[in-house]
Amino acid sequence: MAHDPSHEPHHSNVDHQSMGMVKEHPTWSTYWKVALILTLITMVEVWIYYIPSFVASRAFVPALLIMSAVKFFTVVAFYMHLRYDHKLFRVLFTGPLIIAMTTIVALMFLFGKLSSRTGALL
Amino acid sequence: MTHAAAHSASHSAHDDTHGHPPTSTGLDNKKIAIWAFIGSECMLFASLISTYLIYKGRSVVGPYPHDACLPPGCSTPLKAILNIPVTSASTFVLLMSSLAMVLALAAVEMKDQPAPTTFGDKLLRSSKLWLWMTAILGATFLGFQAFEFTSFVHEGLTIRTNLFGSSFFTLTGFHGAHVTAGVLWLLTLLAIDYRRGLGPKDAINVDLAALYWHFVDVVWIAIFTLVYLIK
């Protein structure tokens, strides 16, 4: 019977402990599915960019930001294995990320690019 | 207990093959360092992105990123300079390079397993194939960026033209420099793979390159939305 590695976890002589793995990494098929999801989200992002009525609506910017955030965290969780690795790595990444995002939002308010009433990008 | 945890328990994290003293965390210092580096890079790109967003819409002269001004509103038509179809293609290329990178890491981790029997298995277990694929896709992304920069210069937008040009070229140029560094890193891994072969013991080194590469990808995910799609 043909060996199908796409549905098997990685049974190998890798030093998983020092690499920080606390849970089994995803399988090959998971990686392909994640790629498909990322491609589909990108297609939807570009598609809505070409719908003038949607671009003019208030939902356009939030929709793009949400889709972008989903792609961002999908890559971080599955491809960067943050979902499966030691929590120290999560702290090292999310800590600065929170500071960075807070800085962007604070600067947007400071320079009048965000309205405190609407929360919309001006 | 998961298989990975059970498996790792049977292997000393700091055996003699690595030649390093034990760490207080039990984790490889190199991996902690790359995550700390990625954290610092988050703040670098946050500063560049916020600079772009602050300057957005404040350019006194064109070309502008999105605002197309056509007659009769304007005497001279101003076409939006950003080329969304081209950038969408380059975004897809970079996303696929992340897939190739994660497959390269998986292939290296599986090197000590019994030889693959089917053609599909051989493809999936070939670290050289996936490392080459990642490097080529990264280089293709850089090609798209070179095309974009060249066309912008031909259309009159340079880093000195206006605030949009300054912040745009700085942000995307820094990202392109990171992609270039990533491609060079991948080529060094390929050289090692051809010279002596990459095996499970090298998985940590491939993992470091993979983490850096995926970070470059997630930065582009943010740039694509904030710079190119949001008008």
**What residue in B sits closest to A32 (Cα-Cα)?**
B99
Q: What is the pLDDT of residue B57?
A: 83
**Interchain pair B201, A15: CB under 8 A:** yes
Chain A interface, best mutation among B52, B212, B221, B230, by max A CB count within 10 A: B221
Identify the band that residue A116 occupies on the pLDDT scale cut at 50, 70 and 90.
low
Q: What is the pLDDT of residue B225?
A: 96
Q: What is the pLDDT of residue B23?
A: 78
How does pLDDT run across B201-224, given as a tens digit for each residue?
Answer: 999 999 999 999 999 999 999 999
Confirm or reject contact between A75 and chain B (CB < 8 A).
Answer: yes
The ipTM, to two decimals, is 0.84
**What residue in B sits closest to A4 (Cα-Cα)?**
B121
Sign of CA dihedral B2, B4, B5, B7: positive
User: Which chain A residues contact residue B54 at CB under 8 A?
Assistant: 107-108, 111, 113
Question: Is residue B170 over pLDDT 50?
Answer: yes
Bridge partners for A85 per DSSP: A21
- Between residues B170 and B119, the one the model is more confident about: B170
| Least Cα separation, residue B206 to chain A (angstroms) | 11
Confirm or reject contact between A62 and chain B (CB < 8 A).
Answer: no
Confirm or reject contact between A53 and chain B (CB < 8 A).
Answer: no
Question: Is residue A90 over pLDDT 80?
Answer: yes
User: Which chain A residues contact residue B201 at CB under 8 A?
Assistant: 13, 15
Confirm or reject contact between A37 and chain B (CB < 8 A).
Answer: no
What's chain A's average pLDDT?
84
Identify the band that residue B5 occupies on the pLDDT scale cut at 50, 70 and 90.
very low
- Between residues B22 and B6, the one the model is more confident about: B22
Q: How far is CA A9 from CA A12, A74, B29, B105, B210, in A?
A: 9, 19, 25, 13, 19
Range scoring the smallest mean pLDDT among B23-32, B36-45, B57-66, B146-155: B57-66
How does pLDDT run across A2-58, given as a tens digit for each residue?
Answer: 444 444 445 455 666 666 666 677 888 899 999 999 999 999 999 999 999 999 999
Q: Average pLDDT in the A64-78 region?
A: 96
**Interchain pair B106, A28: CB under 8 A:** yes
User: Would you call B20 helix, strand, or coil by DSSP?
Assistant: coil
User: Which chain A residues contact residue B225 at CB under 8 A?
Assistant: 45, 64-65, 67-68
Q: Average pLDDT in the A94-102 region?
A: 96
Confirm or reject contact between A118 and chain B (CB < 8 A).
Answer: no
**Interchain pair B35, A93: CB under 8 A:** yes
Q: What is the pLDDT of residue B9?
A: 37
Q: What is the pLDDT of residue B113?
A: 82
User: Which of B53, B88, B201 lies nearest to residue A46, judging by beta carbons?
Assistant: B88
How does pLDDT run across B111-167, given as a tens digit for each residue?
Answer: 888 877 788 888 888 999 999 999 999 999 999 999 999 999 999 999 998 999 999
| Least Cα separation, residue A118 to chain B (angstroms) | 17
| Residue-by-residue DSSP string for chain A | ----GGGS---SS--HHHHTBSSPPPPHHHHHHHHHHHHHHHHHHHHHHT-HHHHHSTTHHHHHHHHHHHHHHHIIIIIS-TTTB-HHHHHHHHHHHHHHHHHHHHHHHHTT-B-TTT--B-
Q: What is the pLDDT of residue B7?
A: 36
How does pLDDT run across B59-117, given as a tens digit for each residue?
Answer: 877 787 876 666 666 666 667 889 999 999 999 999 999 999 999 999 999 888 887 77
